[in-house]
């Protein structure tokens, strides 16, 4: 096996060790979340046990199978990718459909836009979301504005950009970032973050099919850690639709990606320790986001907590917070709370203190309830 | 820079460059740091370099490679400044009818430039960029392409559209942003685009079109279409990172694309001496493994020949070509620029009066009795009349309805934009008097 996933495997192993031998200090800290699989979907036929990277591969495999114009490219995708997301695809579909590019992010996105302009399906990979910024100009000034500026003469709707995203335990400044808010300020893009393998495949297939340029962020900490029964055949999960994962009556908790699993745990803690009933919402699509589902929930519960790994200032929670405040002013019984990363770069050894973990979220719920 | 950082970061996480080495054994060997590093003895007396990164011989003297900028890549020319063919074997033998079309495209563009430039000076349009001195690069190159070949441009290539038959009305509609503009009045003037003529809509950010053109060329190759992509840009634009990206991707991914650089000596006020220190842009091509040539951009036949051959080979061999057309930007950079602030009038006059692509082609035509003073006069008059008519009509038209500011952001309209559209409509019902509603369609 390649070295690529080593770090992640180690994280998973240490979690295991912690569970088996509590008392003896683990060499590495346990993962800050525990993944709870979604129920097996029955409506799409046969399923298979897949972790998140395998469900991505499955989606890509489906996409290339049914669309002869679709191509996958990026740094190191040819041998299977540094996170194994493209394993086997080159052998199955040919080296002209799954290929390495030079190491140049602005080139990757520009190149992908060009493919999409001809109408072919372009699935670009940026190796880490942290390295998407060299392509910021191509994404924001070009991809997002292609259709609008040309009066719909040209578009790059068949472009999807995938990128590993979020903290990973030891990724420090440049292997941990959650840059969704930078892109949320850019009309013309769709931004999507799944919470697990089933969601990942369905949402990725929707992004690939969607007639707009999409950025699909894959929570890399879950590549191996999250395992579910995932349908083998293609299926899609609609974009711009949040999902209420648990009904509740006292407070609404909103998150996306890995953080959804944090709020699931927080809901259990709040119920057990405080007798508080939490409604849990996975936002899934950051842009254009599903304000209706969130506002409906807050109108019912009267309280809202939003949490994300990214820094708080200018984070997407601000957008949600101010919209809900506008729409649900009469229903709100406490100030909306944001539990987010601090306004610092993402640190290496301080990661356990940096992330908005369940204890920080739990404490925020406690304070909101007592407001 | 970013790439280097990326690589370093990855190594730090354990995503070692070792992944690229032949096999896991090599990685383990390196990590063990033991005997695996000991070198095996060569059996052959002849020592050849084995580095995967280059194919070269050893050299036993220290020697830096000198760039050759004093005597650069030569400038290919077919006719001299008097319109005489220099080397008959290079004469493209273009028919009288076709040459006439070249000439008319170039001069019609020139007439349109003069009139739209003036109309900006009078405040009738907000912005304009002329093509003075570069008309030959546009027409010569596009004439050598098939009509289905896709064009990505920068902004000073209106002649390409003109030669493909884009109507004057449409040029004007875009500059005025009136209701006839297919771009729906959303972009600044001269940001033309035409789906039917395979001319991708222009955008202001420089060089972004270069890697895009490469992607489009890759898709054409995949679809076996026998189409090429041509991508125009200036020498200033070539300094952008996207130019580097595009050249390198085109070579490594073997794309049928023609990079066409208009080297007109200036990027706004910046002379080429402050833009680069190598032998222009053409000299960079070979560094990327790209077949490259430099042509006299004021010689429409030289441009035509180079493009024609590049097209033929790009399609046949799936490889990129780079053409650097040397020319001179006779006009100001744009209507927001006064170029006398950074260059002499004498310099401009030389190119305008003594080495202009239009006058050179006229010499050629006159020599062959294909054109005379009378025809020149009547064509000038006629073209001026056509441009003026189109201009006046464009000016009379209303702007598109304000609702069009909201559509096409996405393929469909999401709830939040629909809500904003309704909000504007409601606002205009109450405060409409304070807005120029009369000038817009309802």
CA distance B202 to chain A (A): 8
ipTM of the prediction: 0.93
Contact A96 B249 (CB under 8 A): no
Q: Which residues contact B123 (CB under 8 A, 6 or more apart)?
A: none
Of A103, A118, A145, Cβ closest to residue B216: A118
Q: Tell me which chain B residues have a C-beta less than 8 angstroms from the C-beta of A136.
A: none
Interatomic CA distance for residues A174 and B284, integer angstroms: 32
Residue B257: name the closest of B161, B164, B324, B322 by CA.
B322
Tokens representing A39 are 């129920």
| DSSP codes, B135-178 | HHHHHHHHHTS-TTSEEE--SS-HHHHHHTT--HHHHHHHHHT-
Q: Which chain A positions have a beta carbon within 8 Å of B200's beta carbon?
A: 117, 150, 154
- State the count of interchain CB pairs (< 8 A) between A and B: 207
Whether B242 and A106 lie within 8 Å, measured CB to CB: yes
Burial label, B152 (beta-carbon count in 10 A; 0-12, 13-18, 19+): buried
| Separation of alpha carbons A15 and B294, rounded Å | 62
Helix ranges (DSSP H) in A129-279: 136-137, 146-149, 180-184, 197-209, 222-225, 259-269
Q: Which residue has the tokens 């046990």?
A: A49
Contacts of B190 in chain A (CB under 8 A): none
d(CA A191, CA A183): 8
Look at residue A116 and tell me whether its pLDDT is greater than 70. yes
Note the pLDDT of residue A29: 63
Q: B181 or A31: which carries more pLDDT confidence?
A: B181
Q: Among A248, A334, A368, A367, which Cα is nearest to A296's? A: A248
Mean of pLDDT values over A246-274: 98
Confidence of residue A7 (pLDDT cuts 50, 70, 90): very low
Q: Do B215 and A113 touch (CB under 8 A)?
A: yes
> Degrees (nearest 5) of the Cα angle B85, B87, B88?
75
Of B195, B205, B411, the CB nearest to A137: B205
The two structure tokens encoding residue A222: 């879950």
Backbone angles phi, psi at A99, to 5 degrees: -145, 155
Phi, psi of B233 (to 5 degrees): -165, 165
B325 pairs with which residues across the strands?
B262, B295
Using the beta-carbon criterion (under 8 Å), do A4 and B205 form an inter-chain contact?
Answer: no
DSSP assignment of A7-49, as one string?
Answer: HHHHHHHHHHHHHHSTTSPPSSPPPSS---PPPPP-TTS-EEE
Sequence-distant (6+) residues with CB within 8 A of B191 are A149, B155, B174, B183, B201, B202, B203, B204
DSSP E strands, B188-237: 229-234
Is it true that the peptide bond before B143 is cis, omega within 30 degrees of 0? no
Residue B5 with chain A: CB contacts under 8 Å: 174
Q: What are phi and psi of B199, to 5 degrees?
A: -120, 105
Residue B216 and residue A71: Cβ atoms within 8 Å?
no
Select from A114, A122, A157 the Cβ nearest to the Cβ of B213.
Answer: A114
A contacts of B18 (beta carbons < 8 Å): 3
SS3 A186: coil
**Alpha-carbon span B330 to B338, nearest angstrom:** 12
pLDDT in tens, B10-59: 434 444 333 333 333 333 333 334 445 566 665 665 689 999 999 999 99
Q: Which residue has better confidence, A1 or B360?
A: B360
The closest alpha carbon to B222, from A211, A208, A118, belongs to: A118
Q: Distances in Å between the alpha carbon of A295 and those of A191, A290, B3, B233? A: 20, 9, 42, 49
B334 among known catalytic residues:
yes
Q: Per DSSP, what are the bridge partners of residue A100? A: A74
- The CA angle B204-A133-A196, to the nearest 5 degrees, is 125
Residue appearing with tokens 């090599």: B26
Residue B410 to residue A288, Cβ atoms within 8 A: yes
pLDDT > 60? residue A11: no
In the set B204, B269, B336, B344, the catalytic residue is B204
Q: Confirm if B266 and B129 have CB atoms less than 8 A apart.
A: no
Q: What is the pLDDT of residues B303-323, one digit of tens each?
A: 999 999 999 999 999 999 999
Tell me the nearest-neighbour CA distance from B379 into chain A, angstroms. 33
Beta carbons of A308 and A340 less than 8 angstroms apart: yes
Mean pLDDT of A33-58: 96
β-pair type (B257-263, B229-234): parallel
* pTM score, whole prediction: 0.92
Q: Say which of B152, B215, B411 has its CB closest to residue A122.
A: B215
Q: Three-state DSSP class for B231?
A: strand
CA nearest A120 in B: which residue? B219
B262 touches chain A (CB under 8 A): no
Question: Is the CB of residue B360 less than 8 Å from the CB of residue B83?
Answer: yes
Contact B197, B150 (CB under 8 A): no
Residues of chain B with pLDDT under 50: 1-35
Would you call B126 a catalytic residue per the annotation? Answer: no
Statement: residue A141 has pLDDT above 50: yes
CA distances from B19 to A81, A95, A174, B23, B28 (A): 10, 19, 19, 8, 11
Catalytic residue among B333, B339, B356, B383: B333
- 8 Å CB contact between A50 and A228: yes
d(C-alpha A188, C-alpha A113), whole Å = 14
Confidence (pLDDT) at A99: 98
What is the predicted pLDDT for the residue at B43?
A: 61
Chain B CB contacts of A211 below 8 Å: 410-412
Q: Is residue A45 within 8 Å of residue A231, measured between CB atoms?
A: yes
A111/B214 CB distance under 8 A: yes
Which residues face A98 on adjacent strands?
A72
Strands B270-271 and B266-267: antiparallel
**A76, A116, A151 ranked by CB distance to B182: nearest:** A151
Q: Where are the alpha helices (DSSP H) in A274-346?
A: 291-301, 316-327
**Using CB atoms, which residue from B214, B244, B414 is nearest to A288?**
B414
Residues contacting residue B347 through CB under 8 Å, at least 6 positions apart? none
Distance from the A278 Cα atom to the nearest Cα atom in chain B, whole angstroms: 27
Out of A149, A154, A171, the one facing B13 most closely (by C-beta) is: A171
Nearest residue of B to residue A126, measured between CA atoms: B6
**Are the CB atoms for A145 and A188 separated by under 8 Å?**
yes
Q: Catalytic residue among B141, B180, B292, B334, which?
A: B334
The answer to whether B421 contacts chain A (CB < 8 Å) is no
Per CB-CB distance under 8 Å, the chain A contacts of B12 are 172
Report the distance separating Cα B303 and Cα B76, nearest Å: 9
The H or E element that residue B13 is part of is helix B2-13
Question: Are A194 and A257 a contacting pair, CB within 8 Å?
Answer: yes
Cβ contact, residue pair B249, A111, below 8 Å: yes
Give the CA angle between residues A41, A42, A46 to the nearest 5°.
Answer: 100
Question: Residue B266: beta bridge partners?
Answer: B271
The upper half-sphere exposure of residue B43, i.e. CA atoms within 13 Å in the direction of its Cβ, equals 0
Q: Which of A107, A116, A137 sits opposite B248 (nearest CB)?
A: A107
Chain A partners within 8 Å of B15 (Cβ)? 3-4, 82
A129, closest residue in chain B (CA to CA)? B6
Could A103 and B6 be called an inter-chain contact, meaning their C-beta atoms sit closer than 8 Å?
A: yes
Cβ proximity of B161 and B190 under 8 Å: no
Q: Annotated catalytic residue: which of A32, A75, A125, A175?
A: A175
Helix or strand or coil: residue A310?
Answer: strand
Instruction: Test A2 with B416 for CB contact under 8 angstroms.
Output: no
Cα-Cα-Cα-Cα torsion A68, A107, B406, B127, nearest 10 degrees, comes to -130
| Contacts of residue B243, Cβ cutoff 8 Å, sequence gap at least 6 | B207, B210, B233, B237
Rounded to a whole number of angstroms, the distance from the CA of A268 to the nearest CA of chain B is: 33
Q: Which of A4, A84, A151 is the best residue to mutate to test the B interface, defined by the most B CB atoms within 10 Å of its own CB?
A: A151
Among B residues 14-73, those touching chain A with beta carbons less than 8 Å apart: 14-16, 18-19, 24, 27
Question: A152, B222: Cβ pair inside 8 Å?
Answer: no
Partner-chain contact B218 A111, CB within 8 Å: yes
CB atoms within 10 A of CB B392: 10
C-beta of residue B150 within 8 angstroms of C-beta of residue B198: yes
> In chain B, which residues have their Cβ closer than 8 Å to the Cβ of A3?
14-16, 18-19, 27
- Reported as a single tens digit per residue, the pLDDT across A68-105 is 999 999 999 999 999 999 999 999 999 999 999 999 99
């Amino acid at each position: 096996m390649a070295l690529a996933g080593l770090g992640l495997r180690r994280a998973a192993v240490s979690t295991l060790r912690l569970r088996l031998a509590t008392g003896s200090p683990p060499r590495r800290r346990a993962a800050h979340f525990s993944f709870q699989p979604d129920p097996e979907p029955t409506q799409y036929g046969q399923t298979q046990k897949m972790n998140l990277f395998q469900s991505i591969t499955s989606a890509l495999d489906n996409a290339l199978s049914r669309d002869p114009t679709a191509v996958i490219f990026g740094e190191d995708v040819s041998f299977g990718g540094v996170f194994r997301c493209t394993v086997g695809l080159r052998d199955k579909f040919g080296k002209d459909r799954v290929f390495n590019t030079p190491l140049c992010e602005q080139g990757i996105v520009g190149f992908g836009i060009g493919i999409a302009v001809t109408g072919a399906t372009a699935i670009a990979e940026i190796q880490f979301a942290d390295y998407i910024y060299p392509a910021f100009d191509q994404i924001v000034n070009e991809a997002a504005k292609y259709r609008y500026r040309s009066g719909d003469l040209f578009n790059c709707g068949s472009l999807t950009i995938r990128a590993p995203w979020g903290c990973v335990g030891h990724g420090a400044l440049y292997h941990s970032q959650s840059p969704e808010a930078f892109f949320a300020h850019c009309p013309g893009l769709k931004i999507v973050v799944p919470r697990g393998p089933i969601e990942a495949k369905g949402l990725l297939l929707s992004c690939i099919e969607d007639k707009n340029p999409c950025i699909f962020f894959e929570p890399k900490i879950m590549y191996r850690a999250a395992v579910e029964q995932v349908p083998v055949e293609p299926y899609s999960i609609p974009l711009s639709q949040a999902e209420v994962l648990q009904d509740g009556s006292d407070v609404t908790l909103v998150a996306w990606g890995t953080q959804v699993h944090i709020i699931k745990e927080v809901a259990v803690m709040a119920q057990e320790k405080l007798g508080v009933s939490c409604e849990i919402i996975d936002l899934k699509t950051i842009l254009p986001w599903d304000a209706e589902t969130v506002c409906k929930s807050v109108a019912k519960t009267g309280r809202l907590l939003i949490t994300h790994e990214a820094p708080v200032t200018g984070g997407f929670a601000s957008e949600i917070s101010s919209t809900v405040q506008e729409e649900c002013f009469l229903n709100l019984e406490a100030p909306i709370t944001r539990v987010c990363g601090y306004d610092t770069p993402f640190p290496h050894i301080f990661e356990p203190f940096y992330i908005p973990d369940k204890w920080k979220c739990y404490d925020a719920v406690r304070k909101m309830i007592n407001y | 820079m970013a790439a280097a950082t990326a690589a370093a970061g990855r190594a730090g996480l354990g995503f070692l460059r070792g992944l690229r080495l032949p096999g896991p054994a090599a990685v383990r060997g390196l990590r063990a740091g033991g005997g695996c590093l000991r070198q095996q003895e060569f059996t052959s007396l002849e020592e050849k370099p084995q580095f995967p990164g280059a194919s070269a011989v050893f050299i036993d003297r220290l020697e830096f490679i000198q760039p050759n900028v004093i005597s650069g890549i030569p400038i290919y020319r077919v006719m001299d400044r008097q319109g005489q063919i220099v080397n008959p074997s290079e004469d493209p033998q273009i028919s009288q009818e076709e040459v006439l079309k070249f000439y008319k495209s170039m001069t019609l563009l020139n007439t349109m430039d003069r009139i739209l430039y003036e109309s900006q000076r009078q405040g009738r349009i907000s912005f304009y960029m002329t093509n003075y001195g570069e008309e030959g690069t546009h027409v010569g190159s596009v004439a050598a392409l098939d009509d289905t070949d896709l064009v990505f441009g920068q902004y000073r290539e209106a002649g390409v559209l003109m030669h493909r038959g884009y109507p004057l009305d449409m040029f004007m509609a875009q500059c005025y942003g009136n209701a006839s503009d297919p771009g729906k009045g959303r972009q600044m003037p001269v940001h033309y685009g035409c789906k039917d003529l395979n001319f991708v809509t222009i955008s202001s950010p420089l060089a972004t079109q270069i890697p895009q053109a490469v992607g489009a060329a890759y898709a054409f190759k995949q679809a076996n279409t026998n189409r090429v992509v041509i991508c125009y840009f200036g020498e200033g634009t070539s300094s952008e990172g996207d130019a580097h990206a595009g050249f390198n991707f085109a070579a490594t991914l073997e794309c049928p694309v023609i990079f066409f650089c208009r080297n007109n000596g200036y990027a706004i006020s910046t002379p080429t001496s402050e833009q680069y220190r190598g032998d222009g842009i053409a000299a960079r091509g070979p560094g990327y493994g790209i077949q490259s040539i430099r042509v006299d951009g004021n010689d429409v036949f030289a441009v035509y020949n180079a493009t024609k051959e590049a097209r033929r080979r790009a399609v046949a061999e799936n490889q990129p070509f780079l053409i650097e057309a040397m020319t001179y930007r006779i006009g100001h950079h744009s209507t927001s620029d006064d170029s006398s602030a950074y260059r002499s009038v004498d310099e401009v006059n030389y190119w305008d009066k003594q080495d202009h692509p239009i006058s050179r082609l006229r010499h050629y035509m006159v020599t062959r009795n294909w054109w005379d003073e009378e025809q020149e006069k009547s064509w000038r008059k006629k073209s001026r009349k056509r441009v003026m008519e189109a201009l006046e009509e464009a000016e009379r038209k209303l702007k598109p309805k304000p609702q069009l500011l909201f559509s096409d952001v996405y393929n469909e309209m999401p709830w939040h934009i629909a809500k904003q559209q309704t909000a504007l409509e409601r606002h205009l019902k109450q405060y409409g008097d304070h807005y120029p509603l009369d000038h817009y369609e309802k």
